[in-house]
Amino acid sequence: MAPHAIAIIGQGSPDSGRAIDDAEECGRLLARRGVTVVTGGLGGVMAAASRGAKSEGGLVVAVLPGIDPGVANPHADVVVCTGSGEGRNLAVVASARAAIAIGGGWGTLSEIGLAKRIGRGLVLLGTWHVGAPDGWDPGDAPLLATSAQDAVEIAVGL
């Protein structure tokens, strides 16, 4: 049976800053626990998380929007080309038990919504603040983490 997988979702650029450091650390910590890391396969947070996981010998999966595997960052063991465009955001979060969202990006916001929509666990680390409208009950709220280590602890425990 496939090992547990956790998705790290986040902005595709820039390639440095707090979000990048957090993503790389999350990748490392997940790999050390034997958790497969799934990302959207491109740059920024996606590349950093993949690089971190690979540096610890983890299994890394890139789930790309298009059909050209050549655009994936170089840290993935498996490159899946969905051909679904931004529709691949659903595949990223659906392919994991839980997702850790890091940093900005409108695509990241869409993945936050999709992860909750399909009932996946979700941990937020320095990312979008989302507030439901009055009179609508969002059910279980996403969980807030204060550090990469905290985010991984929460996600693995879900």
The correct pick among 15, 16, 69, 146 for binding a second copy (CB under 8 A) is 69
Sheet with 60-64, side-by-side order of all strands: 78-81, 60-64, 36-39, 5-10, 98-103, 121-127, 143-144
Minimum distance, C-beta of residue 29 to a second copy, in the bound complex (Å): 20
Alpha-carbon span 115 to 100, nearest angstrom: 10
Q: For residue 57, state whether it binds a second copy (rule: CB under 8 A).
A: no
Give the bridge partners for 61, in sequence order: 38, 78
The correct pick among 26, 40, 42, 108 for binding a second copy (CB under 8 A) is 108
Interacting residues toward a second copy by CB under 8 A: 1-3, 5, 11, 17-19, 36, 59, 61-63, 66-67, 69, 72, 74, 76-87, 89-91, 94-95, 103-114, 116-118, 126-138
